[in-house]
Amino acid sequence: MAGICEGRVVIVTGAGRGIGREHALEFARQGARVVVNDLGGEVDGSGASATPAEEVAAEIRELGGEAIVNGDDVADFEGAERMVRSAIDAFGGLDVLVCNAGILRDRMLVNMTEAEWDDVIRVHLKGTFAPARHAAAWWRDRSKSGQPVDARIINTSSASGLFGNVGQTNYAAAKAGIAAFTIVLAKELERYGVGVNCIAPGARTRMTAPLGFGDGEREQGAFDASAPDNIAPLVVWLGSEESRGITGRVFEVMGGRIGVADGWSRGPDARRDARWDPAELGSVLRDLVAKAAEPEAIFPPSS
């Protein structure tokens, strides 16, 4: 039985470890040919090694699939173009781009350095923009030349970006930006046959391990809700032709739970046909805040 991505060409950034690795392997199981992109650095972005990406590509080949390794920096504009070109040169095209690569430099704002801010914004936000920019341009050109396009971009946000998390102003700002980027890009690329969606995953990885994520005890043989391979089924489905028509959405996913994040929505308001006087606004704004829904917590309720 063929997989749901049979014959599709997929790039997964940050695919050497964690969630990205599981994306790459599941795409391969579902019949896709995969470009495994990873710099092989540490959680904070330092260092580099081709080994993690090479190991994932080797696993894919052992499964009977096709894979190549790409070691370009996702946030380097020319490097991102080489990454996209590597898929086209090796496999004859590109159908899916999964922007997953990321780093952490957590710090309370009053202690955060300029480099800690810049590096996180660069890898996450520019590292989503740059590959998407080059992939989108290639798909647009194909569409304008009359060739069929049924492509996908799947970006990676975070609950921290959607709901906020102390000590992560840099990371949350980047991840919130990625969610907004997704919504705008979906509107821009729909005319060319490209669907754009975003996930906010929760899983036990190198990035979440220091926070104690998923450390709770569970019975032997019980479902591991924190395992990173739980995220891949949603991403692979979003990368398949079956997802046609679903675009501009942000999905929360962790364990066996998948949800749609509503994002910013308009709440209660007060209106008048005249300019407000600042002195009048105290009672007006307190009343509006009292009527509005409470901000969502970073972790969803258990039931």
Task: Indicate which residue of 158, 160, 226, 243 is catalytic.
Answer: 158
Task: Indicate which residue of 86, 157, 175, 240 is catalytic.
Answer: 175
171 a catalytic residue: yes
Which of 48, 57, 226, 215 has the alpha carbon at shortest distance from 123?
A: 48
Which contacts qualify for 180-183: CB closer than 8 Å, 24 or more apart?
181/125, 181/128, 181/129, 181/132, 181/155, 182/153, 182/155, 182/157, 182/248, 182/250, 183/248, 183/250, 183/263
158 a catalytic residue: yes
Task: Indicate which residue of 126, 171, 226, 243 is catalytic.
Answer: 171
> What's the angle, vertex CA 82, arms to CA 81 and CA 86, rounded to 5?
120
How many residues are there in the chain? Answer: 303
Residues 6+ positions from 262 with CB-CB distance below 8 Å: none
Question: Strand order of the sheet with strand 33-37?
Answer: 67-70, 33-37, 9-12, 96-98, 151-156, 194-202, 250-254, 257-261
Pairing of strands 67-70, 33-37: parallel
126 a catalytic residue: no
Name the 3-class secondary structure at 172.
helix
**Residues with a known catalytic role:** 158, 171, 175
